[in-house]
Amino acid sequence: MDAATLAKIKAALEAERDRLAHEIADLERDSSTNLSETSGENNYRDHMADQGSATFGKELDMTLEDAAREMYGTILSALSRIEAGAYGTCLRCGQPVNVERLVAMPAAGLCIACKEWEESR
């Protein structure tokens, strides 16, 4: 991979890292309201459907936060591999990862064959 392509990929990873950091902070701030408040488990008699909707919303926020944290970690791993000079090598088989794959999915750590193997398990 040429230096210009690697620089573009690194910039894209850094931009996504920063975006996810803000998203995680927003989700953490939004989830600071405790579950009993959002689920309706308080002194007021909310309708059960309202309580269910609030609980669903809280669980959705938690799922989104978990997904954002996982992607954040994947991006940090890719940036670490760039710094170590190991970026573009499959984490499973050690073969080069196709440059087109890395341009399309900069955080990819597996070649297509290994990713297909992982998803088929």
DSSP letters, 38-99, are: HHT-SSS---HHHHHHHHHHHHHHHHHHHHHHHHHHHHHHHHHHHHHT-TTB-TTT-PBPPH
User: What pLDDT, on a 0 to 100 scale, did the predictor assign at position 41?
Assistant: 52
**Residue range 56-110, pLDDT digits in tens:** 777 887 899 999 999 999 999 999 999 999 999 999 999 999 999 999 999 999 9
Number of domains in the chain: 1
Instruction: Average the pLDDT over 38-60 and give the result.
Output: 65
The Cβ of residue 68 has, within 10 Å, a number of other Cβ atoms equal to: 19
User: CA-to-CA distance for 70 and 89, rounded, in angstroms?
Assistant: 21
Q: Which domain holds residue 89?
A: 3-120
CATH number at residue 52: 1.20.120.910
* Mean pLDDT rounded to a whole number for the chain: 87
Helix (H, G, I), strand (E, B) or coil at 4: helix
